[in-house]
Every structure is written in structure tokens, then in C-alpha cells.
Amino acid sequence: MTKLRIAIAQTAPVVAPEGPAKLEKPHSTSPFSTIDHNLLDAISYVEKAVSQKAEVVIFPEYFLQGIVNEGRQVIHGTREEGAASVPDSNPFSHIPTDTKSKPTTHITSAQLEWAKYLETHPLSSEENAGPKLYNTAFFIDDRGEIPGEEEHKVFDTKWGKAGMMICWDMSHPAHAQELANQGADIIFAPTFWYATDSEPMIHKYDHDPEYENHMVQSLCFARCIETETVWVMCNAGGDPLEGFMGGSGVWVPLRGKVASCDVAAKLEVVEIDLSVLKDSRKTYKVREDAAKRLAT
């Protein structure tokens, strides 16, 4: 095994307003202003990560559009039978690939095409109430290829086998065990977990004011030890008055939490010597015990 420099990009995604997209000036402004903003933010984080020699950058769940609920999705791939096809053009071609360049300020032909589409073909109330959305994480390598996107399937990287879990998946030990059984060395867990996620039920009881944060931190450390993997969780950061919690980090057997973010947006880079996994597996034998159970 080798060393890996991981960048946790705990961004503070702008969240779209509730309900279907409403274009105030559909022919003169971006039809996807929320995504535009979050894309530019992501580019700046990648540049900072590269400057610190990071080899992998992990972003939170929903880091491009913000949380997808309450009808916030602006478009999705499943339309009612007979609905007009979505445009083929790229409405984000005006976004530069580096922060030295400035995004185009005037609306592009692709943006205009999408704006007109959304204006004339809005989602129906039925589509907006029950769209077929799939919450999927992607691992994009340095060649722009996608070796990992399948749910609960490991994939090969230059640092070892990796897998991905998304947010609430962390609460299910069996999901993490699936990846461990496939030989995962690193598990990436993009997350969008609010400090208010247990409300309103939690207010029936006296509780630790940091309950939600402590629960997430405990889940991450438990999954790290159970699977004998490097566990990388990236949550959204932001204003705690808006419910953001942050708390992103990297957990390693025999070391504990080796990188940490508070609630605010932050980039944190840490180098991990993956040889620690060999020693932890020799010490705890969790994976070895699991293999014996599977064999009987």
C-alpha cells in the first residue's frame, strides 16, 4: 500500500428555493443560477486542493444543486409520456475551468435554449411530486473516466480498492460490510446532514445539544473500525442558523480522526499512509472474523 493525500471540500452549497424553478427573466439570466454558483465554488476548491498536492477531492452530497426536496429539482430525466425532449445543448459551457477566467456574463445560446424549454415545458404537478430521482455518487479519475458509480460496488484506484456510500447509508452496518467483503481499503461517504435532521421528534426528549453531530461522528468511527478501512466523510458546511452542521473528517484505524472540519465551509487536506490498514487488520482481525462467518 502507499500514501494518499485527500482533500475534504466541505463547501457551503447554495440551496435552490422550494418548488419548481421560477425564471424571473427567463431570456436574460441563467436558468440554473444555483448550479452556476456552486460549480464556480467547486472549481475554486479543486484549485486550492491541487495547490496543496491533493490527489483526491471529495465534495458533499448535493454540492451542485443543494438539497433536492420540496420540489427543488429544476429538471430530471424522466418526463411524462409525450413530453418534449430536453435540449441537447450544455447550459454550463459558459463556466470556466479555472478561477483565473471569468464566466460569461451575457446569456449564451445554450442557456437561452434551456430557459425557453423550462418556460414552455414546466414540470407537471404529478412529475414534480414524484420524480424518479436516483441519488448517485461518482468517482472521476485523473483521466476523466468514471471507475466507480455502482451502488455498493468497489472499484480499483492507484491507492487500492475504494467504495462509496451516501449519507444515510452510514447508519446501516450491512452496507459498509458489503464493501469490506469486496476488499475495500477506502470508503468515501459524501453527505448532506443537517443539525436539524432529527426534528421535530427529538424535542420530545431532553437531549445533548450536539446530539446530531455526535451521532454522525460516532457512525463514521464505528464504520471505520468495523470495515478496517480509511473512512472519508464530507458533509456540507455553512451557517449553523440555517441548520448546517459540517463535521467532515477522515477516520483511520489505529489513529482515530485525523482530519476535521467545524461547521463553516473549509478545505482540509490530509496525507494517509495506507500501510496502517495492514497493521490494524492484523491487530483487530475484524475482516478476518467476518470472512470466517461468511464461510460457515
The pTM of the full predicted model, rounded to 2 decimals, is 0.90
Per-residue pLDDT of the chain (296 residues; tens, 9 = 90+): 689 999 999 999 998 777 655 655 566 778 888 889 999 999 999 999 999 999 999 999 999 988 876 555 555 555 555 567 788 899 999 999 888 888 777 889 999 988 888 888 776 666 666 556 678 899 999 899 998 777 789 999 999 999 999 999 999 999 999 999 999 999 999 999 999 999 999 999 999 999 999 999 999 999 999 999 999 999 999 999 999 999 999 999 999 999 999 999 999 999 999 999 999 999 999 988 888 877 76
Residue 10: φ, ψ to 5°: -80, 80
Q: Which of 235, 251, 233, 234 is nearest to 243 (CA)?
A: 235
In the DSSP assignment, the letter for residue 14 is: P
Within the chain, residue ranges assigned H as helices are 33-51, 109-120, 125-129, 173-181, 211-227, 276-284, 286-295
Bridge partners, residue 256, by sequence:
252
CB atoms within 10 A of CB 257: 15
Residue 106 belongs to what domain range? 3-295
d(CA 77, CA 262): 36
CB atoms within 10 A of CB 73: 17
Task: CATH number of the domain at 168, please.
Answer: 3.60.110.10
d(CA 34, CA 15): 7
d(CA 78, CA 86): 10
Domain count of the fold of the chain? 1
Number of DSSP helices (H) and strands (E) in the chain, helices first? 7, 9
